[in-house]
Amino acid sequence: MANIIEMTLDFLGGRKRAYQLTFKLNQPANVAVLDDLSKFCRASETCAVPGNHDKTMMLLGRQEVWLRLQQHLNLPQETLFALYSGGQPPQHKDKS
């Protein structure tokens, strides 16, 4: 089981690095794209459209994409593991 956890952490670490390479924050074009996506995905506003369930669900989907981007850009792989495993942090076994 410890091997599966380590493999999962390695996978998440690789994916996190891929997101970070794709969205290097020291590149003006990347910052511009993230700024545009934050607006399009309603990063800091409500997705609720009173009386329009379908529109609300569409906007929530966009916001979910934004949250995933932010998670992979900013969270350590152990926290990503916890998010994707139902809130359980990885249990590392001592190798002694």
If we measure between CA atoms, which residue out of 31, 4, 26, 10 comes closest to residue 80? 10
Task: List the chain domain ranges.
Answer: 2-84
Q: Is the Cβ–Cβ distance between 78 and 8 less than 8 Å?
A: no
Q: What is the pTM of this model?
A: 0.80
> Which residue, among 93, 96, 94, 68, has the nearest Cα to 12 in the 3D structure?
68
Axis crossing angle, helix 77-84 with helix 2-22, rounded to the nearest 10: 110
Sequential pLDDT tens for the chain (96 residues): 678 889 999 999 999 999 999 999 899 999 999 999 999 999 999 999 999 999 999 999 999 999 999 999 999 999 999 998 887 766 655 444
